[in-house]
Amino acid sequence: MTPDDGLPDAEAALSALVERMHGAVAHDAALVGIYSGGAWIAERLAARLPGTHPVGFIDVSYYRDDYALSGLKPNARRTSLPFEVDGASIVLVDDVLYTGRSVRAAINELFDFGRPERIELAVLVDRGGRELPIEATYAGARLAVARNLSIVLSRDPGGTLSLGVEPITGVG
Amino acid sequence: MTRNPQLNAGGELTHLLTLEGLPASIITHILDTAEPFVSIAEREVKKVPLLRGKAMFNLFFENSTRTRTTFEIAAKRLSADVINLNIGVSSTAKGETLLDTVDNLCAMNADLFVVRHSQSGAPHLIASHLIATGRSHVHVVNAGDGRHAHPTQGLLDLYTIRHYKQDFRALTVAIVGDVLHSRVARSLIHGLTTMGTAQVRVVAPRTLLPTRVEGLGVHVFNDLRVGLRGCDVVVMLRLQNERMKGALLPSAGEYFKHYGLTDEKLALANPEAIVMHPGPMNRGVEIDSPVADGARSVILPQVTFGIAVRMAVLSIVSAA
């Protein structure tokens, strides 16, 4: 983070997210990270939240609504949900909540694996700008960013998370 | 030289007609795209909504249960609608031309044609017709044409080899049998050379090799025992029974003696060598049962990977 880009520190936002989820999330809720940023956060949350939380990962490439516009993104990852989805309490985890389209796709995909008892949503950053009626159950930070900018989460080799901004390319 | 009709103006794959001349980057993209598709078969709901609302027509002017079925499964796992046309007993028999059939199906809002034809070049003719008539939103995938090409089989063979052996540049691959009549062999040879395979061999009696086959960049062996030495991958081709009548071979028994793959001959290849076959197999003709069912046979995984590779091809051309 540079002092003047207005972004919160990613590690501080993660701590704030842990605090909001602490005591509110079911002790056995599965944490399902949306690739790739959400996957990193799901792993970190599982280590810091009390209780036992199975961790899964989801790649929403095949469920996106912009396939006809922008085609299939290269390097789709394998969705992996190593727990029984039927009847599970699931927290979807993403790095940045913006239009809500990725979350819509992820919810659709989860239902192709079974019928969860409940799905909540945890995000590191909520930047507003929703195009669908979707809200985060837990957010580490909330801020407003210009529409032509994308917030990007990165992870250094030591595992430390940081936030940056990039000009938007293609369909978000 | 005219532009490769398989690629659109942006260089994206819009029809898959042959692996000849296809850049390594596109082949790699197809193989990478196929990888996560393999696991969709393990889901509770074995499909994803990628091609929902698209209509795929299986145009099979020549019989092939396996290829048609795997294309149908691939399309259904992507949520496309599949229409199978049994051309042999329909319009063509009544005298309709190939392109009239295509125009009629386009009038029914077809999005994808999967074409199998005994005439080399039929899928190319359809693709050129679609391009010439401005229907760039309709895509053609060659499911085998004459002796020319069978690109999705070649791609699934490449996928299987990469899955078990990783780096093509370190491999020696032997293709054994009726190379002369085999579009599978031709597609695989083009794919392997494009991917930089260290050495590609063809092993067959002279009567079953095309003239000037060396021009494809392969090493030619007439003796299977010599050709297998140092191989990492052995691809056995089906000996088509009808070839026996054409005086190209004395008998099936004689062929098996010289070119049939047995455990004893396989021992001449590298210890970790894998054995492949595009199917359907003739046990006791080109391959011995203990080899076909043995630990080094990857013939059934080829079939499974074939669905994922066809899903990748259908989703890539549909987005172009």
SS3 assignment for B229-258: CCCCEEEECCCCHHHHHHCCCCCHHHHHHH
Tokens 């590779």 belong to which residue?
Answer: B309
Partner-chain contact A72 B316, CB within 8 Å: yes
User: Once rounded to an integer, what is the mean pLDDT over residues B71-88?
Assistant: 92
Q: Are B82 and B125 in contact (CB under 8 A)?
A: no
Q: What is the pLDDT of residue A171?
A: 46
Q: How far apart are CA B49 and CA A98, in angstroms?
A: 23
Q: How far apart are CA B242 and CA B251, in angstroms?
A: 11
Tokens 């990193």 belong to which residue?
Answer: A40
Partner-chain contact B39 A79, CB within 8 Å: yes
Instruction: Name every chain B residue with its beta carbon within 8 A of the beta carbon of A67.
Output: 50, 319
Partner-chain contact A112 B48, CB within 8 Å: yes
Q: How far is A11 from chain B (nearest CA, A)?
A: 31
**Burial class of residue B77 in the structure, from the number of CB atoms within 10 Å of its CB (0-12 exposed, 13-18 middle, 19+ buried):** buried
Ordered strands of the B139-145 beta sheet: B81-86, B55-60, B112-117, B139-145
Q: What is the pLDDT of residue A66?
A: 82
In this complex, which of A72, A78, A112 lies closest to B319 when CB atoms are compared? A72
Partner-chain contact B50 A72, CB within 8 Å: yes
Question: How sure is the predictor about B6, in pLDDT bands with cuts at 50, 70 and 90?
Answer: very high
Ramachandran angles phi, psi of B52, nearest 5°: -60, 130
In this complex, which of B29, B36, B47 lies closest to A59 when CB atoms are compared? B36
**Burial class of residue B65 in the structure, from the number of CB atoms within 10 Å of its CB (0-12 exposed, 13-18 middle, 19+ buried):** exposed
Q: What is the pTM of this model?
A: 0.89
- N-to-C CA span, chain A: 22
- Cα B8 to Cα A153, B22, B142, B250: the distances in Å are 34, 13, 17, 48
- Cα A78 to Cα A23, A61, A119, B41, B56: the distances in Å are 31, 10, 21, 12, 26
User: Is the CA virtual torsion A93, A95, A100, A106 positive or negative?
Assistant: negative
Q: How far apart are CA A96 and CA A34, in angstroms?
A: 10
Taking CA atoms, what residue in B is nearest to A74? B33
Instruction: Name every chain A residue with its beta carbon within 8 A of the beta carbon of B319.
Output: 67-68, 70-72
Q: How far apart are CA A79 and CA A92, in angstroms?
A: 13
Partner-chain contact A113 B47, CB within 8 Å: no
Q: What is the pLDDT of residue A172?
A: 41
Q: What is the pLDDT of residue B3?
A: 62
Cβ neighbours of residue B117 under 8 Å, at least 6 residues apart? Answer: B59, B61, B62, B98, B123, B144, B145, B146
Question: How sure is the predictor about B92, in pLDDT bands with cuts at 50, 70 and 90?
Answer: low
Q: How far apart are CA A61 and CA A73, in angstroms?
A: 7
Distance of CA A97 to the CA centre of its chain: 7
Partner-chain contact B44 A62, CB within 8 Å: no
Distance of CA A11 to the CA centre of its chain: 15
Range of weakest confidence among B82-96, B105-119, B129-143, B264-278:
B82-96
Residues of chain A with pLDDT under 50: 1-3, 171-172
Taking CA atoms, what residue in A is nearest to B45? A112
In this complex, which of A67, A75, A109 lies closest to B319 when CB atoms are compared? A67
Q: How far is B310 from chain A (nearest CA, A)?
A: 15
Give, in degrees to the nearest 5, the angle at Cα B37 between B35 and B43. Answer: 130
Q: What is the pLDDT of residue A3?
A: 45
Question: How sure is the predictor about B150, in pLDDT bands with cuts at 50, 70 and 90?
Answer: very high
pLDDT tens digit sequence for B210-247: 999 999 999 999 999 999 999 999 999 998 776 666 66
Round the average pLDDT of chain B to a whole number and report it.
Answer: 93
User: Once rounded to an integer, what is the mean pLDDT over residues B150-179?
Assistant: 97
* β pairing state of B139-145 and A89-97: unpaired
Supply the ipTM of this predicted assembly.
0.76
Q: How far is B71 from chain A (nearest CA, A)?
A: 18
